Amino acid sequence: MQIFRKTVLEDVAQVMKIIDKGKEYLKISGLDQWQRGYPNESAILHDIENGHGYVLEIGGKIVGTTALSFDGEPCYDVIKEGKWLTEDKFLVIHRMAVANECRGSETASSMLKKIEEICEKQGVNSIKIDTHADNIAMQRLVAKNNFTYCGLVMLPDGERLAYEKIIRE
């Protein structure tokens, strides 16, 4: 059984294990994404405090983590070499990772489907996400889940590919 729920303090160790393994995977893959100490436990605690942290449990084990926010994203205010599909209120996804044993499975897609359900309940019709230009796995994931490439956004640690998915029109 899959449960997608808010992250609680008792989850932090498991969440950090998933994130740390994700950092290792990115490093081995030759990516510099997540290689400068972020995301860290402080970021996860901040997500919990603000109600942004979520985990996916399968069979009682946490296998995925992400941060979701309906509060906008200042870095998305300017998009280069393209444009967003909508200007409406949106949900932004950050810090998405799955456990090593779930890599290549449908776990991340399951998380995206659960995120869409949250948006529908909140009456929000759009999801935005960004990823590193070299993060081919994330680019494949968003393409497979019908996100549209929209352009480039600038984050504090560099330029990112920006995607959006309209849930319902």
Give the per-residue pLDDT at 169: 64
CA 105 to chain CA mean position, Å: 16
Give the per-residue pLDDT at 30: 84
CATH label of the domain that carries residue 67: 3.40.630.30
Domain total in the chain: 1
Domain that holds residue 157: 2-166
Of 20, 102, 13, 91, nearest to 56 by C-alpha is 102
CA 28 to chain CA mean position, Å: 20
Give the per-residue pLDDT at 107: 92
Please list the rounded mean pLDDT of every run of 10 residues in the chain (169 residues): 95 96 88 81 96 95 96 95 95 94 88 96 96 92 97 92 91
Phi, then psi, of 128 in degrees rounded to 5: -120, 145
